[in-house]
Amino acid sequence: MNAALLLEPFSYDYMLTAIWVSALVGGVCGLLSGFVTLKGWSLLGDALSHAVVPGVALAYLAGLPFALGAFTSGILAAAAMSFVKLKTPVREDAVIGVVFTAFFAFGLLLISLFPAALDLKGIILGNILAIAPEDVAQLVAISIACLAVVAVKWRDLLLFSFDPHQARVLGLPVRRLHYTLLILLSATTVAALQAVGAILVVAMLITPGATAYLLTNRFGKMLCLAAALGAVTAAAGAYASYFLDGATGGCIVVLQTLVFLGAFVFSPRHGLLAARRARRELCLVAPTPDPLSPP
């Protein structure tokens, strides 16, 4: 493959837009994925990614920006989960499952009732290659707002994610931080929806953070690494989709998964090879029992 062919995607405006917008969204998702991984909110991220579907459908039907409908739907779903959890003894995972499947089912019902007015493939799988200029502006605004909040509150969010009880003892507004993180996740889900669709958003909110978690034990470095991994893999996935003629979201998530598998095997601290090497060294230094000595 010659250099001219490799540079061919950059000669099209829609590909340039797809690559840099994917990188921006991937970086923001990667940054938030560090908190999701530490907090153990993977299932919640999955719930929010599906819960925005009815909001998107209603926004399209009403002629409103899809971001407004998706964000409102995500916030309502998060509020419903919190309310049901506080008012019932049902476990949190069951509450999340009930609420997000109800929202997702309502979204699919709307899509089935108005198939001519709604783009099912675009909502479920995303379509970053056909993103409109106004949607680009929305995604940039959402991404900048999320980055600004994290830059100001990352230490408080870190303590809240690591140990909310300690955060409460230190006088931090735990409930406010809880809702701040929920709003950030909802906003980031909206930003990623156009790139990879409702189905694959959860991967962008989890995989970069999980990969960075395997590569470092310092949270600050983990956040930076997760953001970098999210941005680079998203841009590379969008670029590769041109040659593969495949779904951009699928290319992005598959690439992020391959990077995670690489860290899973080759991580110098937590990888499979490192664990095997540690066991081998432990066997070498362990004393060999004398068969003639009494038990």
Say if 37 falls within a structural domain: yes
Say if 290 falls within a structural domain: no
Say if 293 falls within a structural domain: no
Measured CA to CA, the distance from residue 202 to residue 47 in angstroms comes to: 8
- Predicted TM-score (pTM) of this structure: 0.83
Say if 125 falls within a structural domain: yes
Say if 288 falls within a structural domain: no
Say if 23 falls within a structural domain: yes
Say if 104 falls within a structural domain: yes
Percent of the chain with pLDDT over 90: 19
Q: What is the mean pLDDT of the chain?
A: 83
At residue 1, the pLDDT reads 56
- Cα distances (Å, whole numbers) of residue 257 to 44, 208, 212, 224, 247: 20, 9, 12, 18, 15
Q: Residue 222: give its domain's CATH number.
A: 1.10.3470.10
Q: Calculate mean pLDDT across residues 137-153.
A: 88
At residue 117, the pLDDT reads 62
Measured CA to CA, the distance from residue 257 to residue 212 in angstroms comes to: 12
Residue pLDDT, tens place only, 156-195: 888 888 888 888 888 888 888 888 888 888 888 887 877 7
At residue 118, the pLDDT reads 61
At residue 264, the pLDDT reads 93
Residue pLDDT, tens place only, 70-123: 888 888 888 888 788 778 888 877 888 888 889 888 988 888 888 766 666 667
286 vs 24, more confident: 24
Residue pLDDT, tens place only, 235-252: 999 999 999 888 888 899
At residue 292, the pLDDT reads 47
Structurally, the chain folds into a number of domains equal to 1
Percent of the chain with pLDDT over 70: 93
At residue 119, the pLDDT reads 64
Say if 295 falls within a structural domain: no
Range of the domain at 221: 3-281
Q: Calculate mean pLDDT across residues 210-230.
A: 91
